[in-house]
Structure 1
Amino acid sequence: MWSDRTSTPARLKVVAALLGVSWLAPFLGGSTEPWAWGVMSVIIGLCFLLLPPRHQLPAFVYLPAALLALWPLTAFLPASWFATPGWRLNLTRDLGLSLPGTITPQPWLTLESWLLLALGLSWLVYATSLLMVSRTRWNLARFYVTGAGLLAGLAILCALAKQPLPFWHAAQHFGFFPNRNQMGDWLALAALLIPALLYEDWGRHRLLTVWWLLVLGVIGAALVMNYSRAGVLIFFAGSTLFLLWISLMRRWTGRLMIGMAIAISMVTLFLLFGGETRDRLQRMAQPSDEPRYSRLEIQKDALALKHSSPWTGVGLGNFNAVFPFARDASRSEARILHPESDWVWLIAEVGWGALVVALIGYAIVMGLHFPVERGTARTLRLAAAIAVLGFAVHGLVDVSAHRLGSFLPVCLFALLLIHPRYLEPASNGLRLGFRWLGLVWCLVGAFFIWSWYSPRLLPASAGVIRAKQTADAALAKGDSVTAMVVLNQALGWSPLDWELYYRRATAQLVTYPTGARLDFLRARTLEPNSSLLPKQEGLLWLNLSPIATLTAWNEALRRDRHNVAELYSELLQQGGRVPLVREGLKNTALNRPDLFLIFVYGLTLEEFREMRLRLLARDPKLATFSAIQQQEFFRFWSEKEGLASFVETAQSMPTWKNAATPYLARRHAEQGDYAQAYTLLHATRPDPVYPQLNTGGSLEALQARALQRPDDFANAYVLTRTYLAASNYTAALETIRRVTPQKGCPAYFFHLQAEVAARLGLWEEAWKSLLQEEARAK
């Protein structure tokens, strides 16, 4: 039988180290910023230095981790050894960008991302190399879940008080992570250990049982408040899988029933009080009319990057910069920071080989769970295995493995699931290697912290952020020289950052407009989807170069797919005071019917006539206009120039017949020819939807009811139909006349009134009834 001969103080130190890293990583805002990377790197380094592992797994287990750590370094190979991607040719040849000779276009950012990857992998290797007997494993799980419950409670209190900690940047104002899916993932995985703890302590430690139910309630409440569907699904699916698995074991029927009762209670509470989280789950299967892109569309486009670099990827840290060139199915104005999948992200940045290595490594770790036998904390190991499985499956639709705050705690679950039989005493070389690696991580962590807080610009993402802040402050003071210096320095580290080019263009607007135009073009190329970028560029050029303004604004109008009318109105308002810009926007409107209708809205009579003549000279049949757009244009025309002007032209244009008929009818009405006006307009009106006819009751009863209650529309409709069936059109019309003045009268009564009045030759009444039907329908 295996045993842990580590002294109790040393064992407590290891447990404290594991818990500290697993709690602190999510607590520090999910460890998504360089200063948090530095803190975690230093802590992990100290663990390696002071507490190197005393045991190790077989060498073949570590091989995938080593290969996965080394594979991304292929991005530093010369780019000339491989085919050049189209996006790289475009940037270097057409835009004159100076990119390094490596496969990765941003080596400094790739190096930073690689350090984070190596940090996470080294912690995974460290955690899985720790031998723990069953009792220690149970206590480790108990402490971790308790801490997770306390952190979840803290998140709830901060959310209720609307006072998050300064380093929490949750988009939905709940939790530590900027993304609610990572917060939900962390909460759900911690909650998955609770069924095992309840199973172990039920009937043995009543206070602990009550405590786990309380912790489960707190974490469950946090899951609901977090509004993450993924977290809820992981918890319920994982708990169900746990209960089903243990149901296959003997003599566990009683505890299984208890577990099922608790699970059913949790589901019931969620359905009753799940709020917006429950509603979001219900909307998953419902179609939506809103224009949007899905995760699958993003991932499809992301996988297209593999064609340019199938085995090396585009380099760690480059997805955000390169992905816009691959967007097709997922095209929208929103900037995509990641492909909504850990696995797809790995393929895009590191290549297919890294995916194969990662899958092999994952399969090996999961295989170390077996055999499932007594005396090995098998229920706890089962719960941990399910949690690791859930984490991997969640990686298909989210990027929790790319966040230290969610990945480092999972390493503790990997430790818990491994059968202790596979661990053997560590060699002196391994222990020495970890000590040296610990020193490296302490230095790396110090660099991360220094790069975040130091006033000097350092070659890292923190340096790029500081360069943007420094440039903004300098530009606000009119100091373009300082702005240019820091931006040029940052572009040496991040040459695909469109924001840097945009700021540098702003700094050169007055002193070097040619360079500004080129940098604006580079910014628009690197961010090819946002309409806000060219819109703001046009505003900057407005008083300096109207032509540059028009170039930028036409690009903004091309990019905006959903609010182009609103954008054009705003541009017209902002640039209309500059004659050349207004003329350019006018020419743009002549080529786009939707914009034309906006442009002519506020024109004077002479200005409208000029635009109308120019439009008809280009498109005499209005072939580019939809039927609705034609009607809107005809309405403007008849209001601005009068019906006579419109009708004179429309009568000679047979292709306008359908859209022009209402206005021709109005012209006949103006001339007193109501019969022709009614005939034309009625021919364009579809029959309304009439209610189902209920013929119950005598004619006398219907008449009496109509006199007593003229607002009884159902009775009036039956009475009207009864008169019409008897060809008593006069009585039918009188009945309708009593109904139509009533509040809330349905529109179909006005249609009936028009048809009955026409049968009686009352053409003016018939015409006006059709107009009333139109007004009531609107």
Structure 2
Amino acid sequence: MSEKLVPYGLMALVVISPLPFGGNLPWAWAVYAIIAALLVIAYSIETARTRTAFPVPLSRIAVPAILVLGVAVWIILQAFPVLPATWANPLWAIVPEALEVPGRGTVSINPDETMEGLMRLLTYSGVFWLSLQLSRDRSTGERFVKVIGWAIAAYAAYGLLLWAFNSETILWYEKEAYQGDLTSTFVNRNSFATYVGMGCVILLILLMRWLTIEFADRQNMPWSKRFVHIVGSSRELVLYALPLLMVFCALLLTHSRAGFGATLVAMLLAFALWQSRQHRGFIAGMIGLAVLMVVIGYWIVVGGDALLARFADVNSSTETRMNVYIATMRAIGDYVWTGSGYGTFNDIFPMYRDESISVTGVWDKAHNTYLELLLGLGIPGAIALIAAVLWLVVLCAVGAFNRRRGRHMPLIAFAVSVLVGLHALVDFSLQMAGVAITYSALLGIGVAQSWSTREKHP
């Protein structure tokens, strides 16, 4: 029973994570954390009961595991008054005088927010761990990838349906912002753009893989007959090509400049890396590239007017964002080693907001995940966390180049990492649970399939 419970439970968690406003609600984070913890416990108990080793030993990911563990310990130390008083945030010295309450003397300016941030980090780590272990079986990993791709297509289809009926709602609530932009169940168009961008990468690679296999299996047939056969294979076109069309259409209608740009870079990179290993699939690759270019061109002409207009108006928002980045870097300079507390940007930034930033609007995110990490964790902690993720991404890149069977899975994880990594430079999509949980699952799948089953464990 538990053998099926854990994989289906993980799959359900990943699929539903974007449903309540992209996962951008405190109660949703708590529910996801509980589900992920229960699944990890259930999997560990089942492994112990059957006396079997983990499919992916810890030694395979020892370095990133140690780095993430170190960051988790540091976050706990930030949230509790256990470090020397000289390490405490200097603002705590002002609190008793200003509010007539005793200061807590912690590194974090908001320990509660810091512990909530730890809960989310551990949730994403748990999703990665389960995905890593379960996806060592290639058929399970392939099933996970397909389900994630189709789930993203379903969210895109829901958003397209709302857009077709001019419905400015999120679920059953009226939109408070981003009228005219497709956001599906997300509040923010940029976060949804990252989400459907991952779907574009997944479905493109799955489509390319199917085309390559089809052409290889019929290499003795004239290419024209092979093409006719592929066009007539309606089942695969419905499974991959149609969903790809939907998610790309949804991406354009988000009108997210950075989301579109990062997705396009990731898709072209994925295509180039896939074709670099194909010797007999050149024609299939060219057909795939032609289809991709036609789709991109068509939808830009038909539905991309607003997106192109936003590209033309890039200067108006860029200046404000740059001023926010400069103010954030000033804050980082005051908390170089200890940080202000993981997840406390909203608490610390108002003290650094100056006249260069408009008085309208609330900046509760830096719109740059890396800067927020540097401010919250301090430079050493942020470098450790970023390095842990980069280590795993490199494993996926190596697998995408070296593997023969199953290489599409590490390639998907690598290309998606490029997408979310680029978008994180100018936005906060990775700070949305729906995006972060989906990405964690894909990264786990990619790492699990980054080496051949013929290789012995280190």
- What TM-score range do you get, normalising by the shorter chain? 0.7 to 0.9
CA contact (8 A) 1:311 1:353 kept: yes
Specify the alignment match of 1:521 in structure 2: none
Matches for 1:264-413 after TM superposition, within 5 Å: 264-273=293-302, 274-284=304-314, 287-288=315-316, 293-328=319-354, 330-333=356-359, 334-369=361-396, 370-371=398-399, 372-413=401-442
In 2, distance between residues paired with 1:46 and 1:413? Answer: 20
AA aligned opposite 1:338: K
AA aligned opposite 2:86: W
In 2, distance between residues paired with 1:15 and 1:89? Answer: 49
Establish whether residue 57 from structure 1 lines up as the match of residue 61 from structure 2.
no
Secondary structure of the residue aligned to 1:145 is: helix
Specify the alignment match of 2:243 in structure 1: 215
AA aligned opposite 2:417: V
Shift of 1:92: 5.0
In 2, distance between residues paired with 1:168 and 1:398? Answer: 24
AA aligned opposite 1:121: S
**CA 1:240–1:79: 2 relative to 1, 3 Å:** same
Establish whether residue 194 from structure 1 lines up as the match of residue 223 from structure 2.
no
Of the three residues 144, 160, 166, the one matched with 1:140 is 144
**CA 1:74–1:119: 2 relative to 1, 3 Å:** same
Of 93-102 and 242-251, more deviation after overlay is shown by 93-102
Shift of 1:362: 1.7
Shift of 1:10: 6.5
Shift of 1:294: 2.7
CA contact (8 A) 1:156 1:222 kept: yes
Of the three residues 266, 287, 303, the one matched with 1:258 is 287
Work out which structure has the larger RCO, using CA pairs closer than 8 Å and 6 or more positions apart in sequence.
Answer: 2
In 1, distance between residues paired with 2:196 and 2:388? Answer: 25
In 2, distance between residues paired with 1:329 and 1:348? Answer: 21
**CA 1:425–1:119: 2 relative to 1, 3 Å:** farther
Secondary structure of the residue aligned to 1:271 is: helix
AA aligned opposite 1:188: G
CA contact (8 A) 2:125 2:440 kept: no
Unaligned 5+ segments in structure 2 are: 48-53, 215-229
CA contact (8 A) 1:72 1:312 kept: no
In 1, distance between residues paired with 2:377 and 2:403? Answer: 41
**CA 1:94–1:138: 2 relative to 1, 3 Å:** closer
Specify the alignment match of 2:26 in structure 1: 34
Matches for 1:744-755 after TM superposition, within 5 Å: none
CA contact (8 A) 2:345 2:365 kept: yes
Q: Deviations over 1:404-441 (max 9, x none)?
A: 11100001211232235489999xxxxxxxxxxxxxxx
Q: Deviations over 1:204-257 (max 9, x none)?
A: 754112431211121122112222122211221111111222332222311220
CA contact (8 A) 1:293 1:331 kept: no
State the Cα RMSD in Å: 2.9
CA contact (8 A) 1:29 1:168 kept: no
Specify the alignment match of 2:217 in structure 1: none
Secondary structure of the residue aligned to 1:268 is: helix
Of the three residues 120, 124, 127, the one matched with 1:120 is 124
Establish whether residue 73 from structure 1 lines up as the match of residue 76 from structure 2.
yes
AA aligned opposite 1:309: Y
Establish whether residue 230 from structure 1 lines up as the match of residue 258 from structure 2.
yes
In 2, distance between residues paired with 1:225 and 1:152? Answer: 10
Q: Deviations over 1:295-336 (max 9, x none)?
A: 222122112222332222111342212211112474321321
In 1, distance between residues paired with 2:312 and 2:139? Answer: 42
CA contact (8 A) 2:152 2:196 kept: yes
CA contact (8 A) 2:23 2:29 kept: yes
Q: Deviations over 1:114-147 (max 9, x none)?
A: 2222222232233223343333322222222112
In 2, distance between residues paired with 1:254 and 1:14? Answer: 41
**CA 1:364–1:132: 2 relative to 1, 3 Å:** same
AA aligned opposite 2:22: G
AA aligned opposite 1:80: A
**CA 1:191–1:12: 2 relative to 1, 3 Å:** farther
CA contact (8 A) 1:187 1:231 kept: no
TM-score by length of structure 1 reads 0.49
Shift of 1:98: 4.7
Of 357-366 and 124-133, more deviation after overlay is shown by 124-133
CA contact (8 A) 2:89 2:340 kept: no
In 2, distance between residues paired with 1:387 and 1:347? Answer: 23
Q: Deviations over 1:443-470 (max 9, x none)?
A: xxxxxxxxxxxxxxxxxxxxxxxxxxxx
In 1, distance between residues paired with 2:7 and 2:87? Answer: 47
Specify the alignment match of 1:544 in structure 2: none
Unaligned 5+ segments in structure 1 are: 1-8, 427-778
**CA 1:415–1:111: 2 relative to 1, 3 Å:** closer
Matches for 1:429-444 after TM superposition, within 5 Å: none
**CA 1:407–1:167: 2 relative to 1, 3 Å:** farther
Q: Deviations over 1:601-644 (max 9, x none)?
A: xxxxxxxxxxxxxxxxxxxxxxxxxxxxxxxxxxxxxxxxxxxx
**CA 1:201–1:10: 2 relative to 1, 3 Å:** farther
AA aligned opposite 2:178: Q
TM-score by length of structure 2 reads 0.81
Q: Deviations over 1:77-135 (max 9, x none)?
A: 457223764x5555555675653222223323322232222222232233223343333
In 2, distance between residues paired with 1:61 and 1:422? Answer: 20
Specify the alignment match of 2:222 in structure 1: none
In 1, distance between residues paired with 2:88 and 2:402? Answer: 53
AA aligned opposite 1:276: A
Shift of 1:14: 4.3
Q: Deviations over 1:339-365 (max 9, x none)?
A: 111111111111111121123212220
CA contact (8 A) 2:393 2:413 kept: no
In 1, distance between residues paired with 2:291 and 2:431? Answer: 33
AA aligned opposite 2:209: E
Larger radius of gyration: 1
In 1, distance between residues paired with 2:136 and 2:433? Answer: 24
In 2, distance between residues paired with 1:168 and 1:79? Answer: 49
In 1, distance between residues paired with 2:22 and 2:153? Answer: 16
In 2, distance between residues paired with 1:95 and 1:331? Answer: 28
In 1, distance between residues paired with 2:343 and 2:444? Answer: 29
In 2, distance between residues paired with 1:212 and 1:17? Answer: 24
In 2, distance between residues paired with 1:335 and 1:149? Answer: 32
Secondary structure of the residue aligned to 2:336 is: coil
In 1, distance between residues paired with 2:261 and 2:72? Answer: 31
Establish whether residue 242 from structure 1 lines up as the match of residue 270 from structure 2.
yes
Specify the alignment match of 1:736 in structure 2: none
Specify the alignment match of 2:51 in structure 1: none
Q: Number of aligned pairs?
A: 413
Of the three residues 3, 8, 14, the one matched with 1:22 is 14
**CA 1:306–1:421: 2 relative to 1, 3 Å:** same
**CA 1:208–1:191: 2 relative to 1, 3 Å:** same
In 1, distance between residues paired with 2:376 and 2:2? Answer: 40
Matches for 1:608-627 after TM superposition, within 5 Å: none
